[in-house]
Chains A and B, each alone.
Chain A
């Protein structure tokens, strides 16, 4: 126990060390969080009337972001499977970064749900024994269970492995491997349960389609990895950590398959709704064409569709997949495309038209946007902090010193422009063309 405490103390010492750039980045994120806190205080004081949500559209931007982040978190398995099931070394070296993405994304999910509550002071009603968790009846109760399990699981795996490396010994894989393998179905379950949350509502034909959960998973395996590929390139450019091109290109290839599935399932759903042309077509018409003069979402969803299709082609062709510029363009397109499609594009048409045919067009208020920015800032700060600890440990720059008590810190700066090997810089790439 003393050793755990020494490790935690060492981590805190490490967190305070860094380059000017590191400090600037952390302060920027803290500023975003402060903005979010102020906006949330305003929402707490006045009630959710500060949002654009109303009885017709009773979930909005918060739940959209929540849904998207569940996908990002679930995507960590796309690293776990090649790393630990197929023992593929290039990805095994970076799998822990994926687990840390999952941890940060889960915290963001829980925050998004919390800020959406009308009575956050009663959140303890959800805790079994103290309150009443309506399990297994309510899918929201299931979500509470699986999200927290997934958070604890990833935090424990990554924490234990880093702790072992810190004390310069190999983690005992007898403990880690079962947990890692369990994290695969757990990742699938968080997204499935979140899909079922919508899927189970017969009142909302737009969500009440059995294709929803598969679509959720397919899009999650696009957006999460796309975000990670972008993040990995930042990491290898600005820290001392090395990530091979081989690993990144493999992830991009997996994204291409996932995006194919995603577009295929979307096509299947569009066909079914338009060809059968029943009363249940209305939400999809509202989303893609506009209906009865209401068309706020149309330009967004076509942007998303265009982005996803372009990115699919970019990732399908090996030449563009393995070119850093087109690779990064593709990742941005997917991240934004899925953010629209699995965020507002999924949640809002469930409510428009509403169950009695009323059209209320929703677009988030400044309070909702600022609170959301605050939560993104929080997520990025958590990820930065986790990386600040994980990267030096994995580089061998942060471990217990010879005395067995005090930490040895070999990486004082963390965020600096790394000299890097030439093929990882953008400029030579440009020249090569």
Chain B
């Protein structure tokens, strides 16, 4: 069943929805002084799981969020709910022989995806590894900070969400707040996550990040082009992660993820695994590809390779 159908098939749950909505309106009316604000508060409190929302309900939620973000950041904010495209399965390639460890991808991602600047949340982590040891994570340096990169005797390995086909993070979630979409992207419903952080313990790639504090996102740096399951502003106490920039990649006039676009050496490749003519398929068929922690059977759609 496609996500579009799943979302349409929830009409039978309408009675519960009505009850909740009535309760929300009632509680909102109780708090008289700021009626609008408290109605929105209770509506958000009683909001259902994203995949249980009908079309009309999604419209309500989106308009409430757009209003809320608009007021907070002082500019019009778009919250998209674009579903996965049919016949698309995203794949990502990372060329370890080209990466110079400049971390432009890290900050390009932060800017595009509205991560907290204070405290800093990074969806991409670049590891500095020793050429002598190869991919030996126990000896990886996470906090390298030289004047110039690349450094003698080292190579660099960026790690982000691997969008596993067999994701260990989604099955542990006690409330199904995180799941794999049909285009292979693992998403989080930030309005459903209870912040237990079990998924963070389960992820073998350190790809999930928690908002330990209310995210510090300056209005001027806020990217108003957002997706409900992707880069919209997050609240304190929820988990977030890379979504292959779904606010860009799922659109008909799609763009590459920000990290692909910003990489100065072209080490990052992205495309549709189901399209034989795509660049990512070329990489898999013609280069030597390896997968991080292959023994865990997570089946990532994130491929490291050496082009030279």
Contacts and interface: CB of A to CB of B under 8 A. Distances in A.
A356 B142 contact: yes
Interface stretch (B99-107, B132-140, B222-230, B280-288): B132-140
18 contacts: A46-B213, A47-B237, A48-B213, A49-B212, A49-B213, A59-B201, A116-B196, A118-B211, A122-B175, A137-B172, A140-B174, A201-B168, A203-B201, A203-B202, A203-B203, A354-B206, A355-B205, A357-B142
A46 B296 CA distance: 37
B210 interface: yes
Interface residues of B, number: 47
Interface in B228-284: 235-239
B119 interface: yes
Nearest to B49: A132
Interface of A: 46-49, 51, 53-56, 58-59, 113, 116-123, 125-126, 131-134, 137-141, 144, 197-198, 200-204, 279, 282, 350-351, 353-358
B214 interface: yes
Chain A: interface secondary structure? loop
Contacts of A355: 137, 203-206
Contacts of A279: 138
A189 B201 CA distance: 22
Contacts of B177: 125
Contacts of A200: 172
B64 interface: no
B110 interface: no
Interface in B172-194: 172-177, 192-194
Contacts of A137: 171-172
B111 interface: no
B15 to A, nearest CB: 12
A58 B174 contact: no
Chain B: interface secondary structure? loop
Given A138-B174, A201-B201, A355-B203, A126 B194 contact: yes
Interface of B: 45, 49, 119, 125, 127, 137-140, 142, 159, 168, 171-177, 192-198, 200-206, 208-214, 235-239, 296-297
B194 A118 contact: yes
A138 B173 contact: yes
A58 B210 contact: yes
A117 B194 contact: yes
Contact of B194 (A53, A54, A119): A119
A118 B198 CA distance: 11
A247 B200 CA distance: 45
B187 to A, nearest CB: 15
A336 to B, nearest CB: 26
Given A120-B194, A134-B173, A138-B174, 7 more contacts: A46-B213, A47-B214, A49-B213, A351-B201, A355-B205, A355-B206, A356-B137
A54 B213 CA distance: 11
